[in-house]
Chains A and B, each alone.
Chain A
Amino acid sequence: MRLLVNEKEHELSPDPVESLAETLRMRLHLTGTKVACARGECGSCTVLLNGRAVYSCLTITNACEGASITTIEGLATPGALHPVQRAFIDHDAVQCGFCTPGQVMAAVALLAATPVPDESQIRRGLSGNLCRCGTYPRIAQAIRAVSGQLEATDGR
């Protein structure tokens, strides 16, 4: 099958029930996508499938023929971080960092669908992504910053 990942095409023969998370991590060595539960409960493995956020641990690779996948490795362009990545750094929306790739992808998907999300939209958009370190307030802050809802000096 052919899989388009971060705008690069791959020829793959995944196992019939292989998850997209496993394909990305074990076959393509794109280990930025993390697996913390492998059963769709935590969101660490969130990637974009044709621009929509999905749990890659519950997505079967064989069902992604022809689809365009974006992982955390595909967000930044050479020399420039994605604005969400920049905001996560500036607002300290990162602690251990293990859930972070999934949080960033969920935030990117939310902002693509809702450029200026209100509080409840931020909550709903990110509520499928668990963080045990407790970065939620900072993530919400980072999303507000990217969507222009913060004064430039606020947030620190």
Chain B
Amino acid sequence: MAADPTRRFISTTVEVEGREETKIVELPARTLTPWDADARLEIVGTAQPRVDARDKVTGAAIYTTDRLPPGLLHVVLVRSRVPRGRVKSIDLEAARRMRGVVDTLVFDDLPKDGKPIRAGGVRFLDPDVTYAGQPIACVCAESAAQARAAAAAVRVEYESLPFATTAEWAVMEGAPPVRAKGGNVSRSSPCTCKRGDADRGLAEAEVIVRGRYTVSSALHTAMEPHGAVAEWTGDQLTIHEGTQGVFAVRDEVATALGIPKSHVRVVMDHMGGGFGAKNHAASHTYAAALLARRTGRPVRCVLDRAGEQMDTGHRPGARLDVTLGARRDGQLTAIVVEALSDQGVSGWDSATCKIFHELYACPNVRTVERWAYTNTQAMAAFRGPGHTEGAFALERAMDDLARELGMDPLALRLRNYAETDQEKSRPYSGGNLQRCLEEGAKRFGWEERHARSSGKLGSESNYRIAPELDQTQHAGNSTLTPISPAGGPPRWRKGFGLAAQIWPSGGGPPAYATVRIHPDGSVDVLTGTQDLGTGARTILAQVAAEALGARLQDVRVILGDTERTPYTPNSWGSLTTPSVAPAVRMAAEDARDDLLEAASEILGVPVEHLSTRNGMIVPCTGAEAVPISQITAQLGDVTIMGNGSRGPNQRGVGLMTFGAQFAEVDVDTWTGAVRVVRLTAVHDVGRVLNPLLARSQLEGGILQGIGYALYEERVVDERLGLPLNANLHDYKIPTMSDVPAIDASCLDVVDTVANPVGARGLAEAPIIPTAPAIANAVVDALGTTLNDLPLTPWRVLAAIEK
């Protein structure tokens, strides 16, 4: 990273959710001294409450759905009721005559200059529909209730066409075409990735296990539905949207509408979760923008829950056929995978097989992956995309192998974990999977697990099953009894499982930040990133305060505004912390240096004798410290401003997050219900910037992982092609009652190789090993195979009966 003054712009590689992209970046004007393990930090690394928590607990935080400018109109989308076909006629007359209706929009009304607008992988309002739930018309009215009523009055006639709603179906010979153009698999299918010679590896194996593992399509289910509020002032368009990428939405809208990017302002203040589903402009964005232009009024389009669940993305369902070969001592000799993913009608090739190349040391790996298109909503990245699906198959297969070898599952992992990046023959910046496994095993009590649990089901849990909540007890017995009537097999069985995780989380350029200090000493940090609920706003305030020597309460972080904040990438790929925090630190140090020069002039002390700390300018001469606000007050409107940018990553090193999770479950063999009793997680994410928030994010990933393991499954009727559970009652996410005792922690090993702040990304990693750890525990409890997620009661009962 040594700056060559003659070359300011260089090409560099960044990894986003496992994909590599080559980018040209500008080398920053400054070089930061990494905050290493010995750095004396006072704010970074401490447990600070969220800076926006007060607004969120008082109802003061404004989300997209809360923006109600005067004159606001409301849009409701009319959605296709067939999975594939053609809209023969669409009768809007009745709807138009209804009270409060102002405008309607169908495909023929769209601007015809330029390329068709695309949303969610299809043409916006396309009468040729390719999935149920695809928007075909918009109704715009004075109130949301009027728009809903009018949308229900729209009469549509369809010409239905044959369809395919599962990947197996779509790739069968003679399957109907899913889309108008192209085949039913993505262009890169089949994608074969090889290392070594897998056939030789299998020939060398002393033990071989094979299994077919499947995962269901899962829905992001953020609590705030997608939405946009659009308003035109002359030829300037302003969009408030709860998005993970204000700049992405700006670029997509400008392109779609054929207007300059400088004429589109996208703002995101607070948003109610994203988890990968809110990375792009979509139907609601275009509906709001176009109808605001047509009506000359502000227009709001916020999806209802059904729309949210059937038209905003999903984690692809997948089927993985896995073969593992190993020597008797447990050493892997071959990994062979064939995978088929269900993209829905569109999407990017999110690799379920990549983790098979990464997590364990194995000289011979061959994976063949296909991505099928189906007549269901397009996929969207969902927290740890690809790796989460793949980890289930890999880690279930590893447990099958351990059983076949008669080896402890932990010992098998410790025998095989990868110390280096085998694909690229390079080291990891912090290869601490072994420590995660060992530390996790210790905290969980893995070695003594059977002794600890004997005969005391659920007794270790802080969260005992509440008898009145435990519906399983009604299955035949009026009290919760762990032991069956004398002589029979025990009703409840206990099991233990573990799984490991790897995930790229290094971030990279470009990302920019500006820091300015007002005359009263208060500080603005401006950067274009988004806080999805992750805590980005808080940790960036901590980094700025630390680097500037300011008090945390004096720092305000302004995010997500394409007009006012400098560029940062989408908040995805666990990259916000490692990409944006270094830029913020640089901007703050830039401002600090200017501040010290000004202070030197005012105080008459050489600048090299001055430093900042806790809101004060501190001379090392022993003279009295002076508040920063005193210096800035004397400067008046002479403004201290600093700029920062994210420099490129070091070459030849892999920036990954590692982790291991351990689960204890109770399985009710009468009803098939699985209860996670406790779960221990240890992850290595580099420096922990805020342990309070880090634990929350770990717990959040784990809870989503519990949903993925036990409850979550998007169900599509195979005959009608309609989603059957597009609501929060039938699509089950975990509730307060499903929470186990969670012991989640990070190793907190500073990673100065990754970036000068020493932290890698944390957001996605914790969901990856949860489901396989739980599934392995259920298999341990039952002694039978269970290879399909989610582990709903009927799947568990079917496995017991096998």
Residues of A within 8 A of B (CB): 15, 18, 22, 25-26, 29-39, 41-42, 44, 71-73, 75-76, 81, 85, 88-90, 92, 94-101, 104, 119-124, 126-127, 129-140, 156
B798 interfacial by beta-carbon distance below 8 Å: no
Residue among B462, B703, B728 facing the most chain A CB atoms (10 A cut-off): B728
How many Å from the CB of B521 to the closest CB on chain A? Answer: 24
CB-based contact B728/A135 at 8 Å: no
User: Which of chain A's residues have a CB closer than 8 A to the CB of B59?
Assistant: 30-33, 71-73, 101
CB-based contact B737/A98 at 8 Å: no
Contact among A30, A119, A130 for B463, CB-based, below 8 A: A119
Alpha-carbon gap, A30 to B469, bound state (A): 34
B363 interfacial by beta-carbon distance below 8 Å: no
Alpha-carbon gap, A122 to B534, bound state (A): 25
Residue among B55, B58, B60, B469 facing the most chain A CB atoms (10 A cut-off): B58
CB-based contact B53/A94 at 8 Å: yes
CB-based contact B53/A134 at 8 Å: no
B275 interfacial by beta-carbon distance below 8 Å: yes
Residues of B within 8 A of A (CB): 47, 49-50, 52-63, 65-66, 68, 143-145, 220-225, 270-273, 275, 304-305, 462-464, 466-469, 532-535, 691-693, 695-697, 699-704, 727-729, 733-737, 739, 742
Q: What are 6 A-B contacts with C-beta separation under 8 Å?
A: A36-B728, A96-B270, A98-B224, A98-B273, A122-B736, A140-B736
Alpha-carbon gap, A134 to B145, bound state (A): 31
CB-based contact A96/B145 at 8 Å: no
Secondary structure call for the B interface:
loop
CB-based contact B54/A130 at 8 Å: no
Q: Which residue of chain B has the shortest Cβ distance to A86 in the bound complex?
A: B57
CB-based contact A89/B54 at 8 Å: yes
CB-based contact A124/B468 at 8 Å: yes
Contact among B66, B224, B704, B736 for A96, CB-based, below 8 A: B224
User: Which of chain A's residues have a CB closer than 8 A to the CB of B703?
Assistant: 134, 136
Q: Which residue of chain A has the shortest Cβ distance to B58 in the bound complex?
A: A76
> Are A136 and B464 also in contact (CB < 8 A) when A94-B56, A96-B224 are?
no
Alpha-carbon gap, A100 to B704, bound state (A): 18
Alpha-carbon gap, A99 to B225, bound state (A): 12
Alpha-carbon gap, A25 to B144, bound state (A): 12
Q: Which residue of chain B has the shortest Cβ distance to A29 in the bound complex?
A: B68
User: Which of chain A's residues have a CB closer than 8 A to the CB of B55?
Assistant: 97
CB-based contact A26/B462 at 8 Å: no
CB-based contact A35/B47 at 8 Å: no
CB-based contact A35/B58 at 8 Å: no
User: Which of chain B's residues have a CB closer than 8 A to the CB of A127?
Assistant: 469, 735-737
CB-based contact B468/A138 at 8 Å: no
CB-based contact A42/B736 at 8 Å: no
Q: Which residue of chain B has the shortest Cβ distance to A72 in the bound complex?
A: B59
CB-based contact B62/A31 at 8 Å: yes
CB-based contact A124/B223 at 8 Å: no
CB-based contact B61/A35 at 8 Å: no
Residue among B59, B462, B699, B729 facing the most chain A CB atoms (10 A cut-off): B59
Alpha-carbon gap, A3 to B54, bound state (A): 27
CB-based contact A97/B270 at 8 Å: yes
Alpha-carbon gap, A132 to B224, bound state (A): 10
User: Which of chain A's residues have a CB closer than 8 A to the CB of B464?
Assistant: 119-120
User: Which of chain A's residues have a CB closer than 8 A to the CB of B701?
Assistant: 134
User: Which of chain B's residues have a CB closer than 8 A to the CB of A72?
Assistant: 57-59
User: Which of chain B's residues have a CB closer than 8 A to the CB of A104?
Assistant: 57
Q: Which residue of chain B has the shortest Cβ distance to A17 in the bound complex?
A: B145
Alpha-carbon gap, A36 to B731, bound state (A): 14
CB-based contact A34/B65 at 8 Å: yes
Residue among B53, B143, B223, B464 facing the most chain A CB atoms (10 A cut-off): B223
CB-based contact B305/A36 at 8 Å: yes
Alpha-carbon gap, A112 to B165, bound state (A): 49
How many Å from the CB of B70 to the closest CB on chain A? Answer: 11
CB-based contact B305/A123 at 8 Å: no
Alpha-carbon gap, A98 to B695, bound state (A): 19
User: Which of chain B's residues have a CB closer than 8 A to the CB of A140?
Assistant: 736, 739
User: Which of chain A's residues have a CB closer than 8 A to the CB of B57?
Assistant: 72, 81, 85, 88-89, 94, 97, 100-101, 104
How many Å from the CB of B677 to the closest CB on chain A? Answer: 13
Contact among B53, B65, B728 for A41, CB-based, below 8 A: B728
User: Which of chain A's residues have a CB closer than 8 A to the CB of B693?
Assistant: 92
Contact among B66, B143, B272, B695 for A36, CB-based, below 8 A: B272
User: Which of chain A's residues have a CB closer than 8 A to the CB of B224?
Assistant: 34, 36, 96, 98
> Are A123 and B533 also in contact (CB < 8 A) when A36-B272, A89-B53, A134-B700 are?
no
Contact among A42, A73, A95 for B533, CB-based, below 8 A: A95
> Are A31 and B736 also in contact (CB < 8 A) when A38-B305, A120-B469, A134-B701 are?
no
Q: Which residue of chain A has the shortest Cβ distance to B741 in the bound complex?
A: A137
User: Which of chain A's residues have a CB closer than 8 A to the CB of B145?
Assistant: 15, 18, 22
Contact among B53, B305, B700, B702 for A37, CB-based, below 8 A: B305
User: Which of chain B's residues have a CB closer than 8 A to the CB of A95?
Assistant: 273, 533-535, 696-697, 700
CB-based contact A96/B273 at 8 Å: yes
CB-based contact B469/A123 at 8 Å: yes
Alpha-carbon gap, A88 to B701, bound state (A): 19
> Are A99 and B739 also in contact (CB < 8 A) when A85-B57, A94-B56 are?
no
User: Which of chain B's residues have a CB closer than 8 A to the CB of A89?
Assistant: 49-50, 53-54, 57
Alpha-carbon gap, A14 to B606, bound state (A): 69
Alpha-carbon gap, A136 to B463, bound state (A): 12
Alpha-carbon gap, A71 to B224, bound state (A): 19
User: Which of chain B's residues have a CB closer than 8 A to the CB of A99?
Assistant: 223, 272
Alpha-carbon gap, A92 to B727, bound state (A): 28
Alpha-carbon gap, A92 to B49, bound state (A): 6
> What are the nearest 8 A-B pairs in CB distance?
A32-B59, A96-B533, A98-B272, A120-B466, A97-B56, A134-B700, A134-B703, A31-B66
CB-based contact B53/A132 at 8 Å: no
Q: Which residue of chain A has the shortest Cβ distance to B222 in the bound complex?
A: A132
CB-based contact A130/B273 at 8 Å: no
Q: Which residue of chain B has the shortest Cβ distance to A139 in the bound complex?
A: B736
Alpha-carbon gap, A129 to B736, bound state (A): 8
Alpha-carbon gap, A140 to B462, bound state (A): 11
How many Å from the CB of A98 to the closest CB on chain B? Answer: 3
Alpha-carbon gap, A75 to B742, bound state (A): 31
User: Which of chain A's residues have a CB closer than 8 A to the CB of B467?
Assistant: 120
Contact among B143, B468, B700 for A120, CB-based, below 8 A: B468
Alpha-carbon gap, A89 to B532, bound state (A): 17
Q: Which residue of chain A has the shortest Cβ distance to B531 in the bound complex?
A: A96
User: Which of chain A's residues have a CB closer than 8 A to the CB of B468?
Assistant: 120, 124
How many Å from the CB of A140 to the closest CB on chain B? Answer: 7
Alpha-carbon gap, A122 to B466, bound state (A): 10
Residue among A15, A39, A97, A140 facing the most chain B CB atoms (10 A cut-off): A97
CB-based contact A136/B49 at 8 Å: no
User: Which of chain B's residues have a CB closer than 8 A to the CB of A137?
Assistant: 699, 739, 742
Q: Which residue of chain B has the shortest Cβ distance to A142 in the bound complex?
A: B57
How many Å from the CB of A104 to the closest CB on chain B? Answer: 6
How many Å from the CB of B748 to the closest CB on chain A? Answer: 15
User: Which of chain A's residues have a CB closer than 8 A to the CB of B735?
Assistant: 127, 130, 136
Alpha-carbon gap, A134 to B695, bound state (A): 11
CB-based contact A123/B737 at 8 Å: yes
User: Which of chain A's residues have a CB closer than 8 A to the CB of B697?
Assistant: 95
User: Which of chain A's residues have a CB closer than 8 A to the CB of B272?
Assistant: 34, 36, 96-99
Alpha-carbon gap, A88 to B57, bound state (A): 7
User: Which of chain A's residues have a CB closer than 8 A to the CB of B691?
Assistant: 156
Alpha-carbon gap, A98 to B223, bound state (A): 6
CB-based contact B699/A138 at 8 Å: yes
Q: Which residue of chain B has the shortest Cβ distance to A33 in the bound complex?
A: B59
> Are A119 and B466 also in contact (CB < 8 A) when A34-B224, A132-B222 are?
yes
CB-based contact B271/A96 at 8 Å: yes
User: Which of chain B's residues have a CB closer than 8 A to the CB of A18?
Assistant: 145
CB-based contact A133/B736 at 8 Å: no
User: Which of chain A's residues have a CB closer than 8 A to the CB of B734?
Assistant: 134, 136
